[in-house]
Chain A
């Protein structure tokens, strides 16, 4: 997974810094989700790795072949740094999500789509902007795209672009304390962006 490339590398100090920036950004996102749902969001330690895009499935290995998921992706770009956010929801989450947002009566395919879009724009937006603020980069966000509803993870990854050979992946697994809601947020940066990101990180580390 972490084979050295001549151009893109990630030192322990850089990884630690990415983790800490993510920690702050995902905390801001969790706060918004907690206020929307009225439930406490459990914050994990984010994982930061350089991976081949073909290894993306390993990042989502928590989902079995037969678990049903729904997913959204959204691009972002700013100051020469570009990437994509991928949010994968376990479909079992929707029942509690609908209850907590008082939309139980609307648990249809379209109702779930609306919930998926609302929660993903909240989580993705807060995370991206949170990381951007700390790096002093303003990210413009593209339109969110639904990669699939009620399918398995393999289909989701097939629908996503086979983006880049090497990508910096930041993985955040959100769960909630007393309700059955769980999702994975992956932030994937292009290979070119990693060099610029690392420069900004090195500046912070200096």
Chain B
């Protein structure tokens, strides 16, 4: 059965870039959210079994989303995809329960490497 993947980013260009980077061999249904509030809502609806999450967003940022996931104990594996590559940012999101961190700009190789490393996507 296809896995529900949520791409949560305020930039439509970044959402498109992320969608293109999802390995074609991975069987998924892709959903989109334009900020953290929409993102948490989508995760509550089961659309975010795997979440590609941006950090800098209006309304609710990526840190807020991670806190909400933890507080409500939502079932989501979060991979943060961010341009904020400061060591501090990476440590903070990992401490908040993110599974992995990918530096923007995203591409298919980076996505595939993380997805297989963490066993999220099993190689056929």
Contact = CB atoms under 8 A, between A and B. Distances in A.
A70 to B, nearest CB: 25
Nearest to A14: B13
A27 B13 contact: no
Interface in B16-52: 16-17
Interface string B1-27: 000000000111110110000000000
A30 interface: yes
A24 B85 CA distance: 9
Interface residues on B, range: 20 to 34
A9 interface: no
B86 A34 contact: yes
A43 B56 contact: yes
Interface footprint category on A? 20 to 34
Contact of A19 (B11, B16, B85, B87): B11
A134 B105 contact: yes
B11 A16 contact: yes
Given A23-B104, A45-B58, A30 B86 contact: yes
Interface string B61-86: 00000000000000000000011111
A35 B58 CA distance: 26
A24 B83 contact: yes
A40 B82 CA distance: 15
Given A23-B56, A24-B104, A45-B56, A17 B13 contact: yes
Given A45-B56, A45-B58, A23 B11 contact: yes
Interface of B: 10-14, 16-17, 55-56, 58, 82-89, 104-105
Interface of A: 13, 16-17, 19-20, 23-28, 30-31, 34-35, 40-41, 43-45, 134, 204-205
17 contacts: A16-B12, A17-B11, A19-B11, A20-B11, A20-B17, A23-B14, A23-B104, A24-B104, A24-B105, A27-B82, A27-B104, A31-B85, A34-B86, A35-B87, A134-B105, A205-B13, A205-B16
